[in-house]
Structure 1
């Protein structure tokens, strides 16, 4: 049996489930935000801040952020592994994208929790 070191223990089924789950969470979050805009007559800074100060919205936003990052990472990994053949270049690009996504995670957490 041949083991692929680049997958780090993941399989195609695992990636498929993660992509579909993250897409469902992102769709639900989109409907949640859309529902806010549909049910709110006038969106002002105070109303927007009040909406995002609720624990439910904060947790759902963080869950959507994680889902977006998982979705992006798997997509980037698949595209790079399919189209970038030199291992060093693929590894360097994966590192750059991983650091970028980690930066997005940190900034998202800081933005949502207001630290």
Structure 2
């Protein structure tokens, strides 16, 4: 069996499960953040930094950022292999999106954990 090196998962069904799981995490994070903004009348720096001082919020945020990375990685691979027939252009598009996704994830890591 031939496996595609560009996919995040090991197979199509594995990618399917990763996409759904990452989407659920992103929805939960979005709902939490929307609830936070709706329930907090005045979001100041102290309130914001207090929220992210909690370890569970840092972990939840990294989980959400990891979900964005996984979802974006699989999504751009699927869309580009379906619609971009020129292999050089497809590789370039995948490279640009992959570097961007990794940059977002690393930025979140450095901001949250001060690495």
Alignment length, in residue pairs? Answer: 114
TM (norm. structure 1) is: 0.87
Aligned-partner Cα distance in 1 for 2:4–2:25: 29
Q: Does 1:73 align with 2:55?
A: no
Residues 46/5 of structure 1: CA separation in 2 closer, same or farther (3 Å cut) = closer
Structure 1's consecutive aligned runs of 4 or more residues displaced over 4 angstroms after TM superposition are 6-9
User: Which is greater in Rg?
Assistant: 1
Aligned-partner Cα distance in 1 for 2:110–2:3: 36
My pick for the range that moved more, 27-36 or 17-26, is 27-36
Q: Describe the SS at the equivalent of 1:20.
A: helix
Q: Does 1:29 align with 2:35?
A: no
TM (norm. structure 2) is: 0.87
Q: Which runs of 5+ in 1 are unaligned?
A: none
**1:75 Cα offset (Å):** 0.9
Aligned-partner Cα distance in 2 for 1:85–1:105: 29
Map of 1:108 onto structure 2: 108
Q: Which runs of 5+ in 2 are unaligned?
A: none
- Does the CA-based 8 Å contact 2:23-2:67 persist in structure 1? yes
**1:114 Cα offset (Å):** 3.1
